[in-house]
Structure 1
């Protein structure tokens, strides 16, 4: 058979698979079917002398996966099925490319995949490009992460996106360092209940909206305790992150206020009074700027 006509081998393999159609329908003889599929692959390889279509560097496999998902839109498709359809070992990477580079909403669970819509999400696609462009930009991890937060100002940035731009480093840690050093109003789930753990959001890039230096004295864990206790609501104006009364067109974020001292004098307090929860209160940037305390 080694010296036979590859085209004849292909026909024989196809014929063998056809003969097994009833076995497949009855969910029998799986090993025999897999052997026949293997023979078919060998015949194809021999027919093309081991050559692969030029598009199989990625584009062809990706198209085949997408076509299969579109054909079964809304249905769960197994990973082994996508591997067979793609014909390459890196099929999972092609699925990620369909999600990220092209913006298709593909759900994943238990080793299965499901295409939600045949139309790609252009917003998702453009955002992936933004993150990719910043990941490939020059500069340090800190500079790239800050550029990402500023580019997506007002939007939640995921931990995965931060890590990509930071080249695998702790992107969340870099964002916290930027908040402390630059006093940028960068929120986490400790500051805003609509953010998921690991998400970060730069509220504003305006100089006037930067944090007061005293906020460096209140780490994330402490902020979480204070804001959660006060239901993420400013004690002075009663506006908060859980309230629908926060004006959408105005910059609003929470800060920690101290009942015993103004922001400029907080650093002079003894350590035990500085971090005492009963002496701390949730305030907002606007009330703090106006000199109003809880």
Structure 2
């Protein structure tokens, strides 16, 4: 089981960490291998505790929850790319990817991954179109909270997404069926990637649906006011 970081007074933890780091060179020079590793473990524990305590300062009402610290940091950085190293530090837990999935599917937060953005970037390059300068730089191990809005309808959509994906014969069918169940809703790229079975062709499916007459808004088509990674079905081809 992964170690869960404890939180405390950030200044006290900082001072303890400084003291450990001051002692570390001598320990690494003269200690046994076991003592060297133990010293590094102690430093790592206090470093993680300091990170979790900084995260806790953003979520004082639920400071003991790694998921709450994670969400508080993402909300503090809304619209900005966040690396997994940052999330690991402020969450203070090893299973933060699962917590991110919970924040999406069980709480409706519009968090997209670098994997979804990679699909958008590849599709834009294939069409020789210019994508969003910021999101196009996202790496696979990065995340972005698109908007500081908790969408309760997204919770319903995520509950239905698995069934749609499992019974749909192809990516375009799955994406179309999913959008039909969310008319006029702000659907994220992460939802579309998931319902497509994590198939990177979901942006091409959006284009194909548009070619058939579906009105699907996004930042590059129909609504430059939308953030990158948000899609809205205005009307579907009957």
The alignment's TM-score, normalised by the length of structure 1, stands at 0.39
Structure having the higher Rg: 1
Structure with greater helix share of residues: 2
The alignment's TM-score, normalised by the length of structure 2, stands at 0.46
* Bigger relative contact order, structure 1 or 2 (CA pairs below 8 A, ≥6 apart): 2
